[in-house]
Amino acid sequence: MNLRKSLDRLPSGGVAQRVFGEPLESPDGAMVIPVVRTAGLRGDVPKPVGVFVIHDGKAQWEPAVDANRIALMGTVVGLAAAVISTLAVLRRPPWPDLSVEGLAALAKRQKG
């Protein structure tokens, strides 16, 4: 089967979820096919998903990594952990109860 005929059968437009771009050929003979996912109400916001790389008759998938999204998630998780730990400390502090009743109970325990 011819590689060009196989590539012509791939959907290139009108697909609701994934859109395959034009195949590009690199200088070393590899064929690169970009893949994007459409988003938005009308499907007009493309987001990169990755590329198919075809070299020496073998196809390989290379996913696109969004480093900004990963950094944002790390920041949100760290902020949530800081807020939860701060609320836990303010709710019940780790130091002993220093109120008058608490000091009287502490003195009573030390004597008895």
pLDDT reported for residue 43:
60
pLDDT value at position 58? 92
What is the number of other CB atoms lying within 10 angstroms of the CB of residue 38? 15
Give 32's contacts (C-beta < 8 A, 6+ positions apart). Answer: 23, 24, 25, 26, 51, 52, 53, 54
Domain ranges of the chain: 3-63, 67-111
Residue 103 CA to residue 79 CA, distance in Å, equals 36
Quote the tokens at residue 3: 């590689």
**pLDDT given for residue 33 in this prediction:** 92
The per-residue pLDDT for 98 is 66
The DSSP call for residue 15 is -
* Longest CA–CA separation in the chain, Å: 93
pLDDT for position 30? 92
8 CB neighbour count, 10 Å cutoff: 10
Per-residue model confidence as pLDDT tens for the chain (112 residues):
576 776 666 655 544 466 888 999 999 989 999 998 887 666 677 888 899 999 998 999 999 988 998 999 999 999 999 999 998 878 776 666 667 777 778 788 888 6
Residue 19: half-sphere exposure toward Cβ, Cα within 13 Å: 16
